[in-house]
Amino acid sequence: TKQYRVTLLPGDGIGPEIIAVAVDVLNSVGKQCDIGFEFNTALIGGSAIDDTGEPLPQETLDTCSQSDAILLAAIGGYKWDNLPRKQRPETGLLGLRAGLGLFANLRPATILPQLIDASTLKREVVEGVDIMVVRELTGGIYFGQPKGIFATETGEKRGVNTMAYTEAEINRIVKLGFETAQKRRGKLCSVDKANVLDVSQMWRDRVMAMAADYPNVELSHLYVDNAAMQLVRAPKQFDTIVTGNLFGDILSDAAAMLTGSIGMLPSASLSADGPGVYEPVHGSAPDIAGQDKANPLAQVLSAAMMLRYGLNESSAATKIEQAVTRVLDAGYRTGDIMSEGMTAVGCQGMGEALLQVL
């Protein structure tokens, strides 16, 4: 039996409920595939603030570093929104990304045939959409220095953030972009704002230089404003998108919303050689927390991504993905994806349905 150490970060809001379902599913698949999991739970976000005063206790970072993979649920809530920046749940998440060197964020936006009507876009526009956004996650304007609020010569306040990338930072994420495209449909679209930003011009120059190493990848470039338009106009034109931290934040959310069911979308955040973090794209949904209403499927699919990308257990990953397809085919729906004629279930009910088909 292979044994993996997995750190669980339930976080806030619906986090604990959905991660419990994912743990059950992992244990069930583990038995079938002769894989064992040693789960450790640690604090992050608002619940960590309440307990320890900080959103990312050192102990959590240590536990994560020593594990093979990390399954994160979601962080944040109204309760902590007005704390100073250092004590905000989001700061814990950014600290986790920096602390573990998670430079790459993979965010698939896939339309599931069973849920196509959940999209606000017309069926013919979104049918078959399958986009992977490869977002840089530890650089750019999220981390660039200088930043802060400074006094100008006239005594006025000036807020400043710096969007910066070094060549090495660009190289490693763009390389992953090309490699991801190679494993998919062979099309890569790099998104920047090179007509205005120097940092984007450097990004584009690097991408063009690296293209020679990937002759089998069809490369294109879009300005970020045009990319936002094209996602709405004709999303099927995209296969893999590679972009910086801020543009990736915006575009991956827009792409996710095209599917109409962000309760279904997982993500992976990867480092060069340490453990990765796997988490749903959706948030902590404090308004429905503790009511057994949450959709656990994005969390369950995040566990599948963990198996595939983090632990190299792709057959176990496939089993989970197939189980999700089968419960959807069987008509089980949580509230967020409910439609006429389907069977409404809660978070736990969805978990039981998954265990049954597994």
Ligand X SMILES: CC(C)[C@H](C(=O)O)[C@@H](O)C(=O)O
C-alpha span between 134 and 177 (Å, rounded): 6
Q: Please answer whether residues 211 and 103 qualify as being in contact, where contact means their C-beta atoms are separated by less than 8 angstroms.
A: no
Residue 153 sits in the site that holds a copy of itself (CB under 8 A):
no
| Catalytic-role residue among 4, 12, 68, 142 | 142
The region of 18-26, 49-57, 82-90, 312-320 touching a copy of itself under the rule CB under 8 A is 82-90
Residue 50 bears catalytic tag: no
Closest distance to ligand X from the beta carbon of 26 (Å): 23
Q: Please answer whether residues 66 and 72 qualify as being in contact, where contact means their C-beta atoms are separated by less than 8 angstroms.
A: no
Q: Which amino acid is at 271?
A: S
Residue 251 sits in the site that holds a copy of itself (CB under 8 A):
yes
Residue 195 sits in the site that holds ligand X (CB under 6 A):
yes
> Which of 68, 249, 313, 336 contacts ligand X by CB under 6 A?
249
Report the binding-site residues. 77-90, 97, 107, 135, 225, 249, 253, 283-295
Beta-carbon count within 10 A of 206 CB: 20
Q: Please answer whether residues 10 and 73 qualify as being in contact, where contact means their C-beta atoms are separated by less than 8 angstroms.
A: yes
Residue 291 sits in the site that holds a copy of itself (CB under 8 A):
no
Residue 144 sits in the site that holds a copy of itself (CB under 8 A):
yes
C-alpha span between 91 and 77 (Å, rounded): 13
Closest distance to a copy of itself from the beta carbon of 283 (Å): 9
The region of 257-265, 266-274, 309-317, 347-355 touching a copy of itself under the rule CB under 8 A is 257-265
Cis peptide before 146 (omega within 30 of 0): yes
> Which of 59, 62, 127, 225 contacts ligand X by CB under 6 A?
225
C-alpha span between 129 and 222 (Å, rounded): 19
Q: Label residue 280 exposed, middle or buried (CB < 10 Å: 0-12, 13-18, 19+).
A: buried
Beta-carbon count within 10 A of 157 CB: 8
C-alpha span between 335 and 340 (Å, rounded): 11
Closest distance to a copy of itself from the beta carbon of 258 (Å): 6
Which residues in the 194-223 window bind a copy of itself by CB under 8 A? 195-203
> Which of 1, 168, 213, 340 contacts a copy of itself by CB under 8 A?
168
Residue 253 bears catalytic tag: yes
C-alpha span between 85 and 185 (Å, rounded): 41
Residues 6+ apart with CB under 8 A from 346: 292, 293, 334
Closest distance to a copy of itself from the beta carbon of 289 (Å): 18
> Cα-atom radius of gyration of the chain, to the nearest Å?
20
Residue 136 sits in the site that holds ligand X (CB under 6 A):
no
Residue 249 bears catalytic tag: yes
Residue 147 sits in the site that holds a copy of itself (CB under 8 A):
yes
Residue 224 sits in the site that holds a copy of itself (CB under 8 A):
yes
**Mind telling me the catalytic residues?**
142, 193, 225, 249, 253
* Contact set with a copy of itself (CB under 8 A): 85, 88, 90, 94, 120-122, 125, 141-142, 144, 147-149, 152, 156-168, 193, 195-203, 224-226, 228-229, 231-234, 246, 249-254, 256-258, 260, 262
Sites of contact with ligand X (CB under 6 A): 90, 93, 195-196, 225, 249
